[in-house]
Chain A
Amino acid sequence: QKEVEQNSGPLSVPEGAIASLNCTYSDRGSQSFFWYRQYSGKSPELIMSIYSNGDKEDGRFTAQLNKASQYVSLLIRDSQPSDSATYLCAAAGGSARQLTFGSGTQLTVLP
């Protein structure tokens, strides 16, 4: 059974701070990892993908992957109230390239 684990939160950070979201996965065959943001009542939207060990930066977002530890993280710098949402971590692998999602971490950025 492939599993992706996330702290459900809620995680609260003040505006301008760094928010750190963490995720672990059980399937060592997972090759690709994704962070989706989901606003309340809306559908998930992709914000970052990462395939190789190390860091990947995109604007205020940095994804980090450590395959040896089976660990993925997302850092949000200069957090804004508009970043308040649930962040879903997903891992993909196997021939069908399917995504397994975690249960999400609810982030609140306080003005």
Chain B
Amino acid sequence: EAGVAQSPRYKIIEKRQSVAFWCNPISGHATLYWYQQILGQGPKLLIQFQNNGVVDDSQLPKDRFSAERLKGVDSTLKIQPAKLEDSAVYLCASSFNTGRVDTQYFGPGTRLTVL
């Protein structure tokens, strides 16, 4: 079974530029998550999708971050414009939706450096 795919793996941009990340979850997983992990910290949930609907985006800085999952499969996360403090690893995870707390499977992440 293929795991969660993410691209790119690394990205270096200058502040005020824009950047987009892509995620393809495990086949059949209805729930998709985007996390931000700053060095030395645990992952912080940015947004959760169930199919193509947003379940929770309360911690997404909506003035600069946006995310979509148009067909209920893959997803993109965009930052525009980027700030220095956005330097982090952006992790995508997916899970089944069985009605319980399901195991989340993480992708390899995208390491973003903002200069």
Contacts and interface: CB of A to CB of B under 8 A. Distances in A.
Measured as residues with beta carbon below 8 angstroms from the partner, the interface class of chain B is 20 to 34
B111 to A, nearest CB: 8
A97 B42 contact: no
B108 to A, nearest CB: 5
A46 B100 CA distance: 16
Interface residues of A, number: 22
B45 A46 contact: no
Contacts, number: 45
Given A96-B55, A96-B56, A98-B56, A44 B43 contact: yes
Given A99-B45, A101-B43, 15 more contacts: A8-B40, A43-B106, A43-B107, A43-B109, A46-B103, A46-B105, A88-B43, A90-B42, A96-B48, A98-B56, A99-B43, A103-B40, A103-B41, A103-B42, A104-B41
